[in-house]
Structures are given as C-alpha cells and as structure tokens.
Amino acid sequence: MPHHDLVIIGSGSGNSLLTPELEGLDVAIVEKGTFGGTCLNVGCIPTKMFVLPADRVVEAEDAARLGVTFGAPTVDWPAIRDRIFGRIDPISHGGEEYRQGQDHVTLYRTRARFTGPRTLVLDTGEEVTAERVVVAAGSRAVGLAVDGLTGADPDHGVHTSDTVMRMDALPARMVVVGGGFVACEMAHVFSALGVHVTQVQRSPRLLMAEEEAISQRYTEVAGGRYDVRLRTKVTDAEHVDGTWRLTTEGPVGEGHLEAETVLLAVGRRPNTDLLDVLAGGLETHPDGRLVVDAQQRTSVPNVWALGDISSEHQLKHVANHEARIVAHNLAVDLGRVPGPAREDDGRPVPHAVFGHPQVASFGPTADRLRSEGAEFVSYTQKVGDVAYGWALEDTTGLLTVHASPDGRILAAHALGPQASSIIQPLIQAASLGQQAHEVARGQYWIHPALAEVVENALLGLPLD
C-alpha cells in the first residue's frame, strides 16, 4: 500500500501548492481528467480567448456609429479553435510531463475515492494513504433533468462548456439554456461568430446575481443582438434527423425551438460525490461543498481543501489565493516555516462576466444591503458622460459604487468597455480600507482615460 507525505487530489490550483518550502516531500497528485484543471482547459482561459474574436466582430459592427464601416466578417472556426487549443494543450501536457519527471512526485492518472480518513482507493483498486491530504478536485458542469436531454452527449449535439469549444464546426443554430455568466459569455461568442443563438432563461433577467440595473441593461443589450427568451424553461426534447426540437413553457404558454446544437449552461456541482467524501469523514454543506475553516482545514485533521470543491466562489483567483494559504499552512505544520498559520482575511471577492458589454462586480448589491439593514449611499456614473466615453459614443456603460455614509467603499458594480479592468482600483481601495474621496483626490487620474469613470463615481458619493 503506497503511503505518501502529501496527496493532492486535483491538478488545477492544487498543483501550485508545491512551493520551495515543501521541497523534498513524497507527494502524490491524483488526476483523472486533463492536467491543469478547469481554468486552463475548459474555463477562464479558453473562454476568454474565444471572447476576443467575438468582441472584434461586434466592435466592427458597432463602428458604423463612428463613421467607419466594414464588410461582413469571414469566420474561420477551425482556425479560431486551433489557435486557442494549440496554445493551451501544450501547457497542459508540459505541466503533466514536468510533474511526472520529478523523482519525489507520483502522478496517479485515475480517479480516487475516500475509504477512510486520509485513505483513498484508486480506480485501479490500489489503496493509497497519506500523512496529509489536500482536496482540490473542483467542480463539473451539470446537465438538465429534461426528458430527451438527460444523458445526451456531444455526439448528438448536446454540450456543456467542457465540450462546446472543441466542436468540429459551427452549427447554424444553437439554443443556450441558462442565464448565468457561462451562458452569457457563450451566447455572446457564438452569436458574434454567426450562429443563430436563442438563450432560454427561467428568470426575468439574465445575470440575476448582478446589481439589478446592470442585469436589466445587459439583458436589453443581449436581446438586441440575439433571441432571448425570459421566464421560459425547457420541458421536453427530441432529436430527429440531426435537429433538436425543444418544447418550452413561457409567458405565452407552450412553444418550440429547433437547433442543431444545445448548450447546457445551468450551473456546476462540486465533485465531492465522486470522491465519496463522507467515507473520509469530511463534513459537507447542503450543496455538497466541503466545509473548511478560515485556514482551509476540513473537519478531518491534516486534510485541507480549496477551490470549487469547498468555496462558494467558483473563481480561479479565489482558488489561487486559497492555495497560497494551504501551502503556507502545510509548511508551518511541517516546521518548514515559522507560524502562525494564515487565514482567509475576508478581502472583497471580485468577479467579471466577459460578455458584450463586460460586467464586473464586488461586494453586495443594493438589494442585499437594504435587506441586511445596512446604511449606505450610492452613486452611478455613466460611461458616456466622461471624455473617453464621448469618444466611444457609449450609451450603455455605467459604474455604481456603494459606500458607508462615512466613505468606506462597500461595493462596486460595472458594465461597459473594459469593466473588468476599470473596477480594479476600487477593489484595491476596498481591500486596503481607503476612503472614497481619499482615493478620488489623493492621486492624479489620467485625462481623458476611461478610468475617470471611477474618479467621478467616487466624487459623486453623497458622503457625510
């Protein structure tokens, strides 16, 4: 029975745990899927690389407002796809080869499940034990419990985000089921590249978790680009002669949609069930996530967890932060570095949606602040009202900032050009506890750069 100093389950952010402070440990990495995890192979990185050419198409179409017109775009899907995975796949393969070449690392290319505390059985039947275990096995896309779609696969035109980016060819029509960030990004990509997209969302707006004004405005923009069906759900499906016929229930009753391809983007599930974590004594939340404390420790001694399998935030930058915490705390436990152990410090967690336009946010929405009884003030700055916004002829972008009455930044919600970058100064200010007007007046803001949206939003706050 192999016994290791450390077993890491998952090769995404868990792979980055092996810092110099842990050098020399007998380490095992367990990974059944593609080496490198979700972000590298099927998540953040490839999706954003697909978003870029899609953005170029939409920007070219929009340029007529600026007095410039272009001909219809020619989309070479294989070239787009192969450029992206021609870069990503070698990184995955290289990472795997690097770990396989390390004498102190054993790579188990199989699944594992717990049979007891810090005891695993591999799909090969081999049992493995460890002094310490880090569970970083991520999450997976879920399907849709609808007759006809359950069990359908890419060979029959039913995809999740894990498979849709590697299609051999673009379909003429696609139904995107879901209204969250994955659904919105993929609907943007495929509609821009010439696919007739219909997005089906059960709720009254897309991106329902965002600030209401941003969710509403994004929904309006998306609805102007492709077919958006709100308050609508898929109730039945059949596949005939290469075409999916979906039965829907919506505001006007029963309807039907036809498409060659269906993309299910209805959420992700932590992989705890695949690991049989209860057999390992690991406590879980009702949604299946592992319970961890501020030091990323689970309910079992010497077992840590990080990333999607334990975090409420399915975000790579959060998983990386948690990996740094775990790496340090492992080194402290081993006496490699002095204590104390590190803990999550509660810093603001930002996220972005790379649709068109972009959305970025951190902190609570106004509705949540009100429901919590918090005292706060707000200001919304339109992108089109600053100088660079004039140049862009922007009609949709905005930035809303929520702050305490004494000027502490509580949240920011942005929609518009480069929202994911524009919001960063506010993330930094909130993380460092800076006052809103201090940030606005304590530095120069390049004129007429788009960042003046942030300056003006801060100055507009009606503070005490």
Residue ranges of the chain whose pLDDT lies below 50 = none
Q: Do 139 and 308 meet the contact criterion of CB atoms below 8 Å apart?
A: yes
Catalytic residue among 239, 317, 321, 447: 447
Q: Domain boundaries in the chain? A: 3-140+269-333, 154-266, 357-459
- pTM for the model: 0.96
Residue 278 CA, chain-centre distance (Å), reads: 27
The pLDDT score that the predictor gives to residue 151 is 86
CA-CA distance, 343 to 158, in Å (whole number)?
Answer: 42
Say whether 447 is catalytic.
yes
DSSP code string of 426-464 = HHHHHHHT-BHHHHHHSS---TTSTTHHHHHHHHTS---
Which amino acid appears at position 114 of this protein? F
Predicted pLDDT at 328: 98
Q: Are strands 127-135 and 119-122 parallel, antiparallel or unpaired?
A: antiparallel
Q: What is the pLDDT of residue 152?
A: 87
What is the token pair recorded at 173?
Answer: 């029509």
The architecture that CATH gives domain 3-140+269-333 is: 3-Layer(bba) Sandwich (3.50)
pLDDT digits (tens, 9 = 90+) for 405-459: 999 999 999 999 999 999 999 999 999 999 999 999 999 999 999 999 999 999 9
pLDDT in tens, 254-279: 999 999 999 999 999 999 999 999 99
Longest C-alpha distance within the chain, in Å? 71
Distances (CA, A) of 88 to 45, 82, 95, 421: 8, 10, 11, 23
∠ Cα 294 300 305 (to 5°): 50
Q: Which CATH superfamily is domain 154-266 in?
A: FAD/NAD(P)-binding domain (3.50.50.60)
Choose which CATH entry (3.30.390.30, 3.30.750.24, 1.20.1440.80, 2.40.128.20) describes domain 357-459: 3.30.390.30
